[in-house]
């Protein structure tokens, strides 16, 4: 009998905490929607992304602009504020995901083949210069 009573009490406590957490989340969503201002970027529950144009609290409607298309939604259709995720291109990191070192403008403009040709020409020029210096001595 005692174990059954303990299980019932534990379940009641868990249900109370879950209910409290749910009410907090509902209040946060309500506060967010009440404080929406024009210019805020939002995402709807249907995954439409756009900027808030106007909010009508009397009729609980919101107008958003998504790439030139203005759409009217119920205020409850707004899921959250939209924050564009950071994007790093594969050319900006090595195979381990670490950022590549920054290149100067001179290095970035010279293709690899031309850089090798220039270096090869410099070494042959240096060799002929040293031969010329030995002959003149």
Give 37's pLDDT tier (boundaries 50, 70, 90): very high
Q: What is the CATH classification number for the domain harbouring 62?
A: 2.30.30
- Do residues 100 and 80 share a domain? no
Please check the confidence at residue 131 and state whether its pLDDT lies above 60. no
User: What is the per-residue DSSP string for 53-122?
Assistant: EEEETTTTEEEEEETTEEEEEEGGGEEEE--PPP---GGGB-TTSPBPPPPPHHHHHS-HHHHHHHHHHH
Chain mean pLDDT for the chain: 81
Element (H, E) at 43: strand 41-44
pLDDT score of 84? 84
- Do residues 75 and 97 share a domain? no
- Do residues 76 and 42 share a domain? yes
pLDDT score of 122? 53
- Do residues 54 and 79 share a domain? yes
Instruction: Give the count of domains, the chain.
Output: 3
pLDDT score of 53? 96
pLDDT score of 66? 92
- 93-116 tens-digit pLDDT: 887 878 888 775 555 555 555 555
Nearest-10 Cα torsion for 16, 20, 21, 25: 150
CA distance 73 to 63: 6
- Do residues 107 and 128 share a domain? yes
Please check the confidence at residue 81 and state whether its pLDDT lies above 80. yes
- Do residues 94 and 81 share a domain? no
- Do residues 41 and 81 share a domain? yes
- The helix/strand/coil state of 38 is coil
Q: Which of 85, 103, 124 is the last residue of a domain?
A: 85
- Do residues 100 and 117 share a domain? yes
Whole domain around residue 44: which residue ranges? 36-85
């Amino acid at each position: 009998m005692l174990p059954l009573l303990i299980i019932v009490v534990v379940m009641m406590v868990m249900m109370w905490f879950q209910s409290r957490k749910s009410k907090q989340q509902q209040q946060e969503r309500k506060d967010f929607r009440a404080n929406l201002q024009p210019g805020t970027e939002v995402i709807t529950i249907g995954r439409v992304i756009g900027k808030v144009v106007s909010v009508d609290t009397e009729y609980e409607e919101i107008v958003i602009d998504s790439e030139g298309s203005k759409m009217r939604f119920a205020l409850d259709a707004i899921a959250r504020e939209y924050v564009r995720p950071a994007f790093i291109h594969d050319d900006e990191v090595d195979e381990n995901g670490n950022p590549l070192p920054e290149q100067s403008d001179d290095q970035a403009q010279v293709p690899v083949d031309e850089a090798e040709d220039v270096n090869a020409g410099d070494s042959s020029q240096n060799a002929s210069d040293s031969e010329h210096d030995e002959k003149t001595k």
